[in-house]
Structure 1
Amino acid sequence: MRHPGPPRFVAVGESVELAPRDPDPKATYRWRVLEKPDGSDLEAPETAVGHAEPDVPGTYRFECAGPDGTAVQRIRAFPGVRRETTFELERDELPDHNPGDVSVIGPFNEHLAGRDRPRLEDGTYVFDVELPPGDHRHGFVLGEGSEHDVWTETTVPGPARPRIRLDGRVEDDAVVIGAEATTGDGSEFTDDELAVEFLVDDRDGLDDGVLEVDGHEARLPLRALESVDDPVRVHAVAVGERHSVADCVAVSPDGSVDRVNDPPAWIRDAVVYEVFVRSFTDEGTFESFERRVPYLESLGVDCVWLTPVLESPTTHGYHTTDYFDTASDLGSRDAFESFVERCHESGIRVVFDLVINHTAREHANFDLSAAGVDDYADWYVWEPFEESHLTEHDLEKGRDEYGPPRRYLPDRGTEVAQYYFNWRNIPNVNYDSLAVRRYMLDVVDEWADVVDGYRCDVAWGVPHGFWKEVHDRLEGRDPEFLLLDETIPRDPAYAEAEFDVHYDTTLYWTLVDVGNDEAPAESILEAARAPDREGFPDWSLHMRYIENHDEDRYLETCGPHAQRAAAAAVLTLPGVPMLYYGQERGATGYRQLMPWEGDGESTAFHRRLVAARRSEPALSRGALRDLAYDADTDAAVAFARDHEDQRVVVALNFGEVPATITFDAAVDPTDLVTGNSVDCETDGSETMVTVDDVVVLETA
């Protein structure tokens, strides 16, 4: 029996997907409850893919029986932490409208417009919802969303998640697994007071009883490993008022220990370059991309991320019609593989845009599902028209008029395919369907041996259980394969045996505010440290950028001086920096044709920044440290990066006028970005430096 996966850790009230792995769509799978806490009314799902929502803290065990045996899925549920909070908006903050057109969307309801409507009280829209402690972004939208929507953030008070990190060593006759547990902001616990729970993976032939647990350590006797042939995975969470994202180590029969969740080593030092494929060259073909690889080499980037390269009716490619062949206008699969090979010859890895939350409305399987063909009927998420936010007028519109995707079946009536926001032409596929899961796993397999990683579009729309299966599947094929999630806003849950790198929307929005003089430059330091406050484990990496294919160009929005400082921030702060094609050439249109005859000075500036990051370990791997400094403008900021015996000081200025920054450190006056000596004054312990955009100095 293909095991349904590792133990899952949730709070009461959160849903867990139960699904067989590597499924046969024609097979029968049945679930039953083996164990649940006293007082729980939770029952097993009646379908092959189901959802369990623990109602009482404790341990739940579900057995899945399939054509090749049985396997157990364990769920550890902790007390619920959700608190009632209220979103509010004054009615006059929206343009003239019908109150019935207003709804509230956000991650809490998967951005489904029209599902949750606020009440209007004395001119104020009010919406009550239960959410865990933290910052929650949400929008009050008109219809399915428009430029007039109002987005804001509400903070639910309470402690942040604790964090945990596991490591192991052989000591005498056992492997000792140690947990470094750290409390979250606002917790009443100390680090030592946090509980740590260790669980042995149910897939690996041993049970929890084999562990000798003492506080934050667990001993796994070497003799216990004599009965297994493969590594035994041990999971653990730190528990205070809340539980942490789980960490995991794999203990081999010889006693060696590997960390399961660590990202591929190469991405820690990489600089990513995103290419919008139909705008990078005039020809817009793989062959033309291959001829531009020397340009990528000249920039010093280590990884190129291509927007979708599969068949699609759109120029952006995110509406997929054929998952198993390249787009005909871009070129053949052979041409694509030739481009990848050419990149590899230059030491550049290639990341493929994996779009599996939805398909194009023009995909053959959507047509078959809309027509009620049995094997495809539930390929998409279909909802009764009466339960949707749509009107009869919407149904009168055809596909060409941007009408909603719908169907009529005699036994089910009129139904509408689910879609996020106002994305009517990309209906959501149904991961409760074994056929969909089988198909999308085949897609994952199809390209995994061709490219070096996946950037996963709308990752938040695909179930955690499926991503965990993808992670395990790819880890088994190539431990160096990269998984990058587009989850907006980001969520620590996707760091638990799912993704290596996460979109850093927090720093992005902060850089835009700083560039528009709506926030002081020092706020980028708080944004850079946000992952710790949000409960991300220390192994997680964050992709940092100033623009991408979904955002306006920073140069157009904030101007050239701010753009230089923002680009420097991305390349000098911790994380994985990403450049969007044309950013370095002075592009102002977010999907414009690459301005090859563009700004050479800007390109040289970006090359110098990338080279400095590559040559100075403190800029790629160094810890972010506070630095006592004083600046003559809020548009300037300074910080330090430490790595082993190297410390560098980074000074940034987002303003149009040179800034004077004084900081408490003696430095070598050679700027590590330009290689030139900078104008600075020092008395041996304090340094004053003039900064146009960026200066990076090594401490004496």
Structure 2
Amino acid sequence: MRRLLGAGASALIGCGLLLSACSNGGSKQAVGPSDAYYEIFVRSFADSNGDGIGDLNGITSKLDYIDSLGVDGIWLMPIQPSPSYHGYDVTDYYGINSDYGTQEDFDKLIKEAHKRSIKVIMDLVVNHTSVEHPWFVDSASGKDSEHRQWYTWASEHGGATPSDGAAGNPAWHDRNGDQYVGIFWEGMPDLNFDNPEVRKEIVKVGQYWLKQGVDGFRLDAAKHIYGDFNATIKSKQVKDKNQAWWQEFRQGLNEVNPDAYLVGEVWDSTAIIGPYLNNALDSAFNFDLAGTLIGAADSEKAQDIGFTLSRIHDYYAKQSGGKAVDALFLTNHDQDRVMTALKGNKDHARMAASMLLTLPGNAFIYYGEELGMTGAKPDEKIREPFPWSIAPGNPAETTWEPATNRGDGQVSVEAEDETPRSLLNHYRTLLAWREQQPALRGGTIDSYATGNDAIVSYVRADDDSKLLVLHNLSGEPQSIELTETKAQPTKYAKLLLTTSDEASLKGQTLAIPPYTSVVLQSEQ
């Protein structure tokens, strides 16, 4: 196993890794082998030069920590030059934010990550630029400018209509006696993708970064490329144009790296997401599932996740020719942190993680969730410095923003690394399960009924094994009888993995301690 596990992690994992060969078949709509990604806000993660701002060299210096988690890749939030702290308004698509380092620093990060078999994907924000981008500055200079048609201006659009911005903000903004479209904010003017020169340039941008060694992109605001207005964003014409653009983008990337991974931010229903997976995106984030997992952990009431996901995956498989992979997460940089959403309950946080990391699809973990960092909106408070040490002052810790949610320091790498029952080591345990059991990384998911509303249960299977996963969401021990029925004919004969050595399987009676996850292996 390539992971670097501390003594605390090894002690915790030891009670769960009861491994043996498995058999029995999966079903037709299997999800391929899936990865786990660690989302990093570079400004907050690790500082290498003492200026209080996280940087690329800081991440490189902490790759062994990232590797010890058991993740397969990292997602870097925007690293290109930008006037904003967050970077989602780019001024140079081919550059590196000087706060974060240089191209040479980025090259080193890519090299060192790949040396550890860690993939690197980066945020690519192409729906809009910064108002300070040279393209927009030129576009705003007059109707005869070279880049005038790279943005949408009211005077050439037939007036500023409609006006219902699809992101809930004013869509039109004044500049030099005219108005331009920027659905998120006046500082983020939308690019005009009806212009073939814009599309050609953005394909070129994607190709450039693939040539630098990145393994793919997280695509910001993917459904808004042609989605400026509420009045039209759900129209067939707009949806078809969005789909066509991402297919064009994919075709361009295929010329450089056909295996590049594309995951889109499409904050919408399954029906809207599906077409984006047709020869375009590999994944789209499953926002509905994130809410379900948090809600189930918080309420201690089970949901039939297996039933829901099996239907979603069947639909995605049909849309993508079997190529789509779900993108799972609990929260991200735009949402209140998991521990805050769960009101500080560490047991609930463990169960949310357990569910996330035993489901099929690429799993995304927002930096600090593995420690139990807290934080609620505004955005700066959910993007705070990462706590490496119990006491403030660690040279690697960033100071660009006060760490108001730091508490007494027990939520930190130093405090949790060698503590067997820490949340950090719980994440390591579940990620190790995924690595060692292929059926937990890919395969299929199906419903399994226990008749106990405190137990989330589902079947995970691939061509070689069939596993039953059960999570006791409650603070009370639970006992269930694993009876074989016509609907559930498989017999599960062995306790394969558990987060508590007090779990037991005697005959067909399964005892699950409070806040515990178990995996059972089917009879040979």
**TM-score for both structures, normalised by structure 1:** 0.56
Equivalent position to 2:279, from 471, 492, 497: 497
After the TM superposition, which residues 509-520 of structure 1 pair with which residues of structure 2 at under 5 Å, given as runs?
Answer: 509-517=291-299, 520=301
Separation of aligned partners in 2, 1:689 and 1:699: 18
In structure 2, the partner of 1:653 is 472
Larger displacement relative to structure 2 (455-464 or 311-320): 455-464
Separation of aligned partners in 1, 2:171 and 2:432: 50
For the residue of structure 2 that corresponds to 1:695, the secondary structure is strand
Structure 1 residue 628: Cα displacement: 3.3
After the TM superposition, which residues 232-251 of structure 1 pair with which residues of structure 2 at under 5 Å, given as runs?
Answer: none
- 1:594 is aligned to 2:386: yes
- 1:522 is aligned to 2:303: yes
Separation of aligned partners in 2, 1:338 and 1:477: 21
In structure 2, the partner of 1:540 is 324
For the residue of structure 2 that corresponds to 1:454, the secondary structure is strand
Equivalent position to 2:504, from 672, 680, 685: 680
In structure 2, the partner of 1:448 is 210
In structure 2, the partner of 1:458 is 221
Structure 1 residue 661: Cα displacement: 4.1
For the residue of structure 2 that corresponds to 1:667, the secondary structure is strand
In structure 1, the partner of 2:451 is 630
- 1:387 is aligned to 2:171: no
Equivalent position to 2:439, from 603, 606, 618: 618
Across the aligned residues of Structure 1 and Structure 2, the Cα RMSD in angstroms comes to 2.7
In structure 1, the partner of 2:495 is 669
In structure 2, the partner of 1:552 is 336
User: Deviation per CA, 1:125-149, whole angstroms, max 9, x where unpaired?
Assistant: xxxxxxxxxxxxxxxxxxxxxxxxx
- 1:377 is aligned to 2:203: no
After the TM superposition, which residues 363-374 of structure 1 pair with which residues of structure 2 at under 5 Å, given as runs?
Answer: 363-372=133-142, 373-374=144-145
Separation of aligned partners in 2, 1:679 and 1:653: 11
Equivalent pairs, count = 416
The AA in structure 2 aligned to 1:654 is L
User: Deviation per CA, 1:302-350, whole angstroms, max 9, x where unpaired?
Assistant: 1111001000111211110111110000000110110010000000010
Structure 1 residue 532: Cα displacement: 4.2
Separation of aligned partners in 2, 1:446 and 1:500: 20
User: Deviation per CA, 1:74-133, whole angstroms, max 9, x where unpaired?
Assistant: xxxxxxxxxxxxxxxxxxxxxxxxxxxxxxxxxxxxxxxxxxxxxxxxxxxxxxxxxxxx
After the TM superposition, which residues 17-36 of structure 1 pair with which residues of structure 2 at under 5 Å, given as runs?
Answer: none
Separation of aligned partners in 2, 1:457 and 1:403: 18
In structure 2, the partner of 1:576 is 362
Q: Give 5+ residue unaligned stretches, structure 2.
A: 1-27, 48-52, 165-169, 226-241, 376-381, 390-411, 417-421, 484-490
Q: Is the 8 A contact 1:613 1:619 kept in 2?
A: yes
**TM-score for both structures, normalised by structure 2:** 0.74
Q: Is the 8 A contact 1:506 1:530 kept in 2?
A: no
Separation of aligned partners in 1, 2:108 and 2:220: 24
- 1:325 is aligned to 2:87: no
For the residue of structure 2 that corresponds to 1:641, the secondary structure is strand
For the residue of structure 2 that corresponds to 1:322, the secondary structure is coil
For the residue of structure 2 that corresponds to 1:361, the secondary structure is coil
Separation of aligned partners in 2, 1:541 and 1:455: 14
In structure 1, the partner of 2:201 is 439
Separation of aligned partners in 1, 2:492 and 2:201: 60
- 1:470 is aligned to 2:470: no
For the residue of structure 2 that corresponds to 1:356, the secondary structure is coil
* Identity among equivalent pairs (%): 29
Separation of aligned partners in 2, 1:435 and 1:317: 24
Structure 1 residue 680: Cα displacement: 2.4
Structure 1 residue 534: Cα displacement: 5.0
Structure 1 residue 681: Cα displacement: 4.5
In structure 2, the partner of 1:506 is 288
Separation of aligned partners in 1, 2:154 and 2:315: 34
For the residue of structure 1 that corresponds to 2:276, the secondary structure is helix
Q: Give 5+ residue unaligned stretches, structure 1.
A: 1-180, 183-261, 391-401, 409-413
Q: Greater CA radius of gyration, 1 or 2?
A: 1
The AA in structure 2 aligned to 1:380 is Y
Q: Could you say which structure has the greater relative contact order, defined with CA pairs below 8 angstroms and 6 or more residues apart? A: 2
Equivalent position to 2:126, from 349, 356, 378: 356
Separation of aligned partners in 1, 2:72 and 2:470: 25
Structure 1 residue 466: Cα displacement: 2.5
The AA in structure 2 aligned to 1:624 is I
- Larger proportion of helix: 2
In structure 2, the partner of 1:80 is none
In structure 2, the partner of 1:564 is 350
Structure 1 residue 643: Cα displacement: 2.1
In structure 2, the partner of 1:690 is 513
Equivalent position to 2:70, from 296, 300, 323: 300
Distance 1:606 1:406, change over 3 A: same
Separation of aligned partners in 2, 1:550 and 1:662: 42
In structure 1, the partner of 2:261 is 482
Distance 1:678 1:338, change over 3 A: same
Distance 1:569 1:286, change over 3 A: same
In structure 1, the partner of 2:24 is none
Distance 1:536 1:424, change over 3 A: farther
Equivalent position to 1:272, from 27, 37, 47: 37
The AA in structure 2 aligned to 1:381 is T
Q: Is the 8 A contact 1:484 1:499 kept in 2?
A: yes
Q: Is the 8 A contact 2:203 2:252 kept in 1?
A: no
Separation of aligned partners in 1, 2:512 and 2:298: 24
Q: Is the 8 A contact 1:651 1:661 kept in 2?
A: no
Q: Is the 8 A contact 1:666 1:682 kept in 2?
A: no
For the residue of structure 2 that corresponds to 1:444, the secondary structure is helix
Separation of aligned partners in 2, 1:386 and 1:348: 47
Q: Is the 8 A contact 1:277 1:306 kept in 2?
A: yes
Separation of aligned partners in 2, 1:423 and 1:635: 44
- 1:281 is aligned to 2:105: no
Structure 1 residue 522: Cα displacement: 1.9
Distance 1:291 1:361, change over 3 A: same
Structure 1 residue 464: Cα displacement: 2.5
The AA in structure 2 aligned to 1:694 is S
For the residue of structure 1 that corresponds to 2:339, the secondary structure is helix
Separation of aligned partners in 1, 2:308 and 2:517: 19
